[in-house]
Structure 1
Amino acid sequence: MPNANGPVSQFLRHNFRHFNAAALIDATDGYVRHLDKGGKMLVTLAGAMSTAELGISLAEMIRQDKVHAISCTGANLEEDLFNLVAHDAYERVPHYRTLSIKEEEALLQRHMNRVTDTCIPEAEAMRRLEKVVLEEWMAADAAGERYFPHEFYYRILRAGKLEQYYQIDPKDSWMIAAAEKNLPIVTPGWEDSTTGNMYASHVITGEVKNVHTVRSGIEYMVWLADWYTSLTAEHSLGFFQIGGGIAGDFPICVVPMLHQDLQRENVPLWGYFCQISEATTSYGGYSGAPPNEKITWGKLGGETPMYVIESDASIVAPLMFALILNQ
């Protein structure tokens, strides 16, 4: 088990002894055991974790090789970059629960897109990123090249095309850390993100001639199947799910697809599973199925270490990461 070297780790191990608090400790210890045995970890990001600035802790997890792949929504992919280049223009709305319709309309008129208690400024964030990513889309399109959504962002970051706009410490951007590591990423359903909508608009206007210049979700699954098969030939792969939705549902299905649809034998199941969600798993909710139900779908096995923490991921995930990093 990790030593409680830092003050955060010491506090957690002393105080988190029961209920969801104890589940947090157990799941963290299971994560570390998995890595200590030579295992690797895929982390999934649902919701708006990038706007919640999870990058502050996730980036360090990536740098220290505690995360080996990410599956995330298109929103999380782009919102880390929005925060990177427009943080100073963001506005926090602590009283978001009591906003009137007129107050919501006033935010719209100011082009402030609200995510819970945080407003993302359209001009400084979305349009600033659109300018540079459109250049990459058009250049690839003209050259007959095709890339995944995250690969376009990696190209932008590595070329330094956004550096003049940085408004946070780059070490707090998980996308920068991922680009530096060339971390594998899958982004299912990218089409429903802000930049996905932008891309569709530029296909409609004809600025991008080939709609397939940005590679698709099915191609992500094909890639994931090959990567999973190759990696698990030598390492067990764990599954750390933040929230529910497509970010988790998409990648976890690669195992039953390999088994049931491709009829391949000797494909390892996921070697660890943890889900953080404030939604109780039930009746097709956003939480997804509980771990034991996943056994019946050929995703997890009876011996797979399984954990569920029913709490707010914006609180729980940074604490777990701090404990894993002995902070």
Structure 2
Amino acid sequence: MNNGNIKQFIENNFLHFNAASLVDAAKAYEEQLNLNAKMLVSLAGAMSTAEIGKTFAEMIRQNKVHIISCTGANLEEDIMNLVAHSHYERVPNYRDLTPKDEWDLLERGLNRVTDTCIPEEEAFRRLQKHIFDIWKTAENNGERLFPHEFMYRLLMSGVLEQYYEIDPNNSWMLAAAKANLPMVVPGWEDSTMGNIFASYVLKGELKASTMKSGIEYMTFLASWYTENSKNGIGFFQVGGGIAGDFPICVVPMLYQDMEEEETPFWSYFCQISDSTTSYGSYSGAVPNEKITWGKLDIDTPKFIIESDATIVAPLIFAYLLNL
């Protein structure tokens, strides 16, 4: 497509309801960038397995995202897709699978995420031997790093290049590593690599202290927020859960618990979610609820797009990239 075709299509056709909210949110994101505000993007769910890197990597390269909060699964699954894509299997009829069908996938070493199966041997185990060497070398050198810093080191070492099975320009983690982009990965321990690291600790082969903790992520984020909030910091949340809940709390922590009264609120907020508010879900709560928790101001531009993030996020990124 010629530049601007997707953006023009969106502006001409996305005129009502969730579609209109998408346009409003994208335009307000663009305005934040024009005001030299920083933008945090949080990634929940299985966005990496959904290959969000095809648009998100270019967002990083074009400096349209300045810090990322993501789950441990998204941190690792982008790299898994990078090195094992040809071994993935799609299961379009996943809704029809019986327990026996699921067991058969397990026995074949295929871990299913909705309609996509991640190959354990080619993805998890291929990374395991290399990341263990990086963990162990750091420990022997007395280094302590965050989970994403170890992954950056793995990517920048070049040891995985022999395995690349997709265009590396479509890996958002590789783009982030090259930019040394700030990141927080709350709850990393529940990811596959987190489980693997814990197993080495249980076996006495690694020390738990080699991996920096969630509290250290929060204190890092507090410093980063304070240093970068001169022109505002926007919050773009893809999905719900801990990837969004963790970083948004840094603002009330700073001005309530640290008593730094000059701390500005988030300057923009958008959430793509299909969660239902009436269930008591924080992930599905309307943005105004966050005012009561001291996260957003009365006048903060606020958007919620109640739709599928795997559809909406690439469209918004394409809009911002003028595709």
TM range (shorter): over 0.9
Q: Does the CA-based 8 Å contact 1:43-1:70 persist in structure 2? A: yes
The Cα offsets for residues 148-172 of structure 1, whole Å up to 9 and x where unpaired, read as: 0000011111110111000000000
Q: For 1:10 and 1:266, how far apart are their aligned partners in 2?
A: 40
Q: Does the CA-based 8 Å contact 2:274-2:284 persist in structure 1? A: no
1:113 corresponds to: 111
Superposed counterparts of 1:42-191, under 5 Å: 42-191=40-189
1:269 is aligned to 2:265: yes
Q: For 1:310 and 1:133, how far apart are their aligned partners in 2?
A: 37
The Cα offsets for residues 180-217 of structure 1, whole Å up to 9 and x where unpaired, read as: 11100100000000000000001111111x21101010
Extract unaligned runs of 5+ from structure 1.
Answer: none
Identity %: 65
1:290 is aligned to 2:286: yes
Q: What's the TM-score, normalizing by structure 2?
A: 0.98
Q: What's the TM-score, normalizing by structure 1?
A: 0.97
Pick one of 210, 222, 226 that aligns with 1:225: 222
Q: For 2:149 and 2:264, how far apart are their aligned partners in 1?
A: 28
Q: How far apart are 1:61 and its partner, in Å?
A: 0.4
Q: For 1:277 and 1:150, how far apart are their aligned partners in 2?
A: 25
Q: How far apart are 1:40 and its partner, in Å?
A: 1.0
What code does the residue aligned with 1:268 have?
P
Q: For 1:312 and 1:143, how far apart are their aligned partners in 2?
A: 45
What code does the residue aligned with 1:290 have?
V
Q: Does the CA-based 8 Å contact 1:46-1:245 persist in structure 2? A: yes
1:24 corresponds to: 22
Q: For 2:37 and 2:45, how far apart are their aligned partners in 1?
A: 26
Aligned to 2:322, what secondary structure does the other structure show?
A: coil
Aligned to 2:278, what secondary structure does the other structure show?
A: coil
1:206 is aligned to 2:185: no
Q: Does the C-alpha gap of structure 1 residues 100 and 286 become closer, same or farther in structure 2, counting only changes over 3 Å? A: farther
Q: For 2:289 and 2:47, how far apart are their aligned partners in 1?
A: 26
CA-based RMSD:
1.1
Count of residue pairs the alignment pairs up: 322
What code does the residue aligned with 1:198 have?
I
Q: Does the CA-based 8 Å contact 1:280-1:310 persist in structure 2? A: no
Extract unaligned runs of 5+ from structure 2.
Answer: none
What code does the residue aligned with 1:195 have?
M
1:34 corresponds to: 32
Q: For 2:315 and 2:245, how far apart are their aligned partners in 1?
A: 24
Q: Does the CA-based 8 Å contact 2:273-2:284 persist in structure 1? A: no
Q: How far apart are 1:289 and its partner, in Å?
A: 2.6
* Runs of 4+ with deviation above 6 angstroms: none
Q: How far apart are 1:73 and its partner, in Å?
A: 0.2
